[in-house]
């Protein structure tokens, strides 16, 4: 695994990221923007499913935020991979990074599960089921943890 990481670090793109004064901070800013859009969309959606804002219908939340969360996810994943390339072996040796990746994977599986099990017609036709509420709770905890772990990687 460490050999693959060292190979990735020596790739031209990784060297460009490390050596450029502007590229790394710009990619980092893109990562933070992606994170803000994902977490800023998912958290209100989870809170709505869990019963906040009872007077507002769920469907418009779901429709609007689903699209912004998808764009944010693509941005966070692409920029995250670029940041990873720059110092792949350090990140693979960091338990915080590995735990972040595991929690991120579980959170993405939770998103896929909700999309498959609770399609739009169901969301619009009845109040959120207990299963959907449990998924919203898992999502709330999962995305906050990914955020926290992402920040911890830079400190330990």
Q: Does 84 bind ligand HEM (CB under 6 A)?
A: yes
Widest distance between CA atoms in the chain: 56
Q: How far is the CB of 88 from ligand HEM (least distance, A)?
A: 9
Binding to ligand HEM (CB under 6 A): which residues in 54-73?
73
Q: Does 45 bind ligand HEM (CB under 6 A)?
A: no
Angle between helices 2-9 and 58-86 (to 10 degrees): 90
From 17, 65, 91, 142, residue interacting with ligand HEM (rule: CB under 6 A): 91
Q: How far is the CB of 106 from ligand HEM (least distance, A)?
A: 12
Nearest to 17 by CA among 88, 121, 115: 88
Q: Does 102 bind ligand HEM (CB under 6 A)?
A: no
Total binding residues for ligand HEM by CB under 6 A?
20
| Percent helix / strand / coil, the chain, rounded to 5 | 85, 0, 15
Q: How far is the CB of 64 from ligand HEM (least distance, A)?
A: 19
Contact criterion met (CB below 8 Å) for 114 and 135: yes
* Structure token pair of residue 145: 């943890």
* Structure token pair of residue 47: 């809170």
From 23, 47, 50, 77, residue interacting with ligand HEM (rule: CB under 6 A): 77
Nearest to 65 by CA among 79, 50, 45, 48: 45
Q: Does 32 bind ligand HEM (CB under 6 A)?
A: yes
Could you list the residues that contact ligand HEM (CB under 6 A)?
A: 28, 31-32, 35, 38, 73, 76-77, 80-81, 83-84, 91, 104, 146-147, 150-151, 153-154
């Amino acid at each position: 695994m460490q050999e693959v990481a060292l190979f990735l670090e020596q790739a031209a793109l990784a060297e460009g990221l490390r050596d450029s004064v502007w590229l790394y901070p710009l990619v980092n800013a893109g990562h933070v923007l992606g994170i803000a859009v994902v977490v800023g969309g998912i958290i209100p959606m989870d809170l709505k499913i869990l019963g906040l804002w009872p007077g507002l219908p769920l469907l418009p939340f779901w429709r609007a935020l689903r699209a912004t969360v998808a764009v944010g996810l693509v941005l966070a994943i692409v920029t995250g991979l670029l940041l990873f390339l720059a110092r792949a072996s350090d990140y693979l040796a960091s338990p915080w990074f590995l735990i972040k990746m595991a929690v991120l994977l579980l959170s993405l599986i939770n998103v896929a599960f909700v999309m498959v099990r609770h399609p739009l017609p169901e969301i619009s036709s009845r109040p959120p089921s207990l299963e959907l509420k449990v998924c919203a709770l898992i999502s709330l905890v999962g995305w906050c943890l990914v955020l926290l772990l992402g920040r911890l990687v830079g400190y330990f």
